[in-house]
Structure 1
Amino acid sequence: MPSSPQMRVLFVCMGNICRSPTAEAVFRKLVQDEGLETHIEIDSAGTHAYHIGNPPDTRSTAVALRRGYEMDVLRARQVTRSDIETFDYVLAMDRDNAAILRQLAPEGLKEKPQLFMRFAADYGIAEVPDPYYGGAQGFEQVLDMVEQASAGLLTEIRRNLVAPRIR
């Protein structure tokens, strides 16, 4: 019987069809490659209900697939107050979504939502830009940023995991 995860990570953007599912897919692959999938639960959500039930944007999916990340099974959902209580990491793609998450958070958890790019401090950019209204290059840039921040996040989580065998 699988044990419950020791860490839970939630990625959040506005509609949950570009940035946050990209982060979910990238981070999921990193975690699987390290053999930590039973220790870390990964999900994504949006602050707005625009795209509930829809798959990720086809441009995000195409760019991710070219780099080996699968997103076709993901479906957009809206973040809930319970998510903020349940997940250990609630990571927003930008300041606006972080502010919405803090408003949604119960008392005592207002500071839990953080910017995802804090895990890629060397990148020099605090927010993952929304590529939705831009061209293909924007989706490539988002994926570059997400890959770097995901690596930093995994490094931190590995330090905080209690029992897994770490290679």
Structure 2
Amino acid sequence: MVCTGNICRSPTAHGMLRHSLQQAGLHEVVHVDSAGTHGYHVGEPPDPRSIDTARRNGVDIAMQRARKLAPEDFDRFDLILAMDQGHLEILQRLCPPERRQHLKLYLDYVPRFGRDVPDPYYGGPTGFDTVWRICTAVTAELMQEISERIARDQNRPVVSGK
């Protein structure tokens, strides 16, 4: 998951997916991380409003620390999700051509929300609740895709959560 500073949108998405993977017993099979396109907040925890929103919804993201996207991330991850079109454009410029098929917009999974996850940083608490709602919808779709991929790789039937 990639956003600008890795303190609002991407750590929320990262924490929610990690939590869902833990609940499904898949946390040792799937590695999730988040990063920023810029190093503004490297080493800092998520925005307190992101932490509070996640905590109110039963997810702890307080232990996460912001980091900047690293060149090796393009080889390390099978899927890199950009929180908005601007992030995707940056990722496409930085990514080796042979790895670009691993880049997607986060909201490609739930296009009814538009193309970009809105940045809540300069707004009030409702923006963080909006990001949470979006991440909830995308995480459900990601979990379905992950379950199907694991089942396909292990030749097992998938039990849908829908």
Q: With the length of structure 1 as denominator, give the TM-score of the two structures.
A: 0.89
Gap runs ≥5 in structure 2: none
Q: Distance in 1 between matches of 2:126 and 2:113?
A: 19
Gap runs ≥5 in structure 1: 1-10
Q: Is the 8 A contact 2:113 2:134 kept in 1?
A: no
**Is residue 2:10 matched to residue 1:23?**
no
Q: Which residue of 1 aligns with 2:23?
A: 33
- Deviations along 1:2-52, one digit per CA (max 9) or x if unpaired, are xxxxxxxxx100000000000011001111111111111010000001000
Q: How many residues align?
A: 156
**Is residue 2:101 matched to residue 1:137?**
no
Q: Which residue of 1 aligns with 2:154?
A: 163
Give the structure with the larger strand fraction. Answer: 1
Q: Which residue of 2 aligns with 1:64?
A: 54
Q: Which residue of 2 aligns with 1:127?
A: 116
**Residues 16 and 38 of structure 1: CA distance in aligned 2, closer, same or farther (over 3 Å):** same
Q: Is the 8 A contact 1:19 1:142 kept in 2?
A: yes
Q: Which residue of 1 aligns with 2:106?
A: 116
Q: Tell me how far 1:126 sits from its aligned partner.
A: 1.8
- What SS does structure 2 have at the residue aligned with 1:132? coil
Q: Distance in 2 between matches of 1:138 and 1:100?
A: 24
Q: Tell me how far 1:164 sits from its aligned partner.
A: 8.9
Match of residue 77, structure 2, among 69, 74, 87: 87
Q: Distance in 2 between matches of 1:164 and 1:158?
A: 11
Q: Is the 8 A contact 1:81 1:106 kept in 2?
A: no
RMSD: 1.4
Q: Tell me how far 1:127 sits from its aligned partner.
A: 1.3
Q: With the length of structure 2 as denominator, give the TM-score of the two structures.
A: 0.91
